[in-house]
Structure 1
């Protein structure tokens, strides 16, 4: 896909040159009007003159640092990024994981136990997700522990004694009724 002769003629015309000059001036004015990075340059200890991003820093001084829910996630190059950039990122991730594995391998058994305990208790996620996991653990513990036997209540004990006495009375009355039925039948048969 090349340019047509008409396109080449336009790009070399004075009108195109004037448009390029105006666009360059507008871009320079927008850059000058943009809020500056709040960092200090290491080279000459002067304020950084690059335009700042949302957090007040330029891309060189931490403006593209992940934040919010993605602070703990590896940030991959965006769509349309060169393949070389993706390959560098993948090599960097592999190198970081290898260094971490080497550090873990060099740990003493006591350090390894502490490290693994910390890894179990400090899972990544947003504060809300971590709080929800804490609540879920507390609920699971409460659900899996059997309820404690209720403390004896003096009123309940009195009621239990009264119920036992009433049952004895009921049993005695039923026995008396049965005896009367038997004796009543015998008296009818005797006539």
Structure 2
């Protein structure tokens, strides 16, 4: 990470990516809380759309990190592709095993990559601790999914939704904080620009 990109504030594209991720995770988490007895079809469609939404959010996050030199270039498309494939498979095949196994694979991969981002940038990037926390939560969610496969759609959505709610809260707070910091940094510059 270069001296120009390291610092105490995250760039605007990163806070926007975090906010998108929080919105996707929050919507899915709320659905799992308020849908009392979801069928396997509800689980597959909601889970598939959730994984596709995560693919978009993670893509924008990783593009921001790539621009800053905070993530190896070869990793930037790996997680979004796996998430998108898992999402499409769940939209196509409605089965507890499909959601548990493809969701587990995609979420564990995402979590491990986020832990790598933290490890590579610890102490140098303002969002490093957020990546560590989200990486741990996402990895644990992925590990737990297959263990609840036999309990059906309600249990699987509960596990995935619990991880999503934690993620949504952490990333929403982080996004708002980084947005505020970015505005404070940009504020004085905006007032000192010469008027043509």
TM-score (norm 2): 0.21
Of structures 1 and 2, the one with the larger relative CO (CA 8 A, separation 6+) is: 2
TM-score (norm 1): 0.21
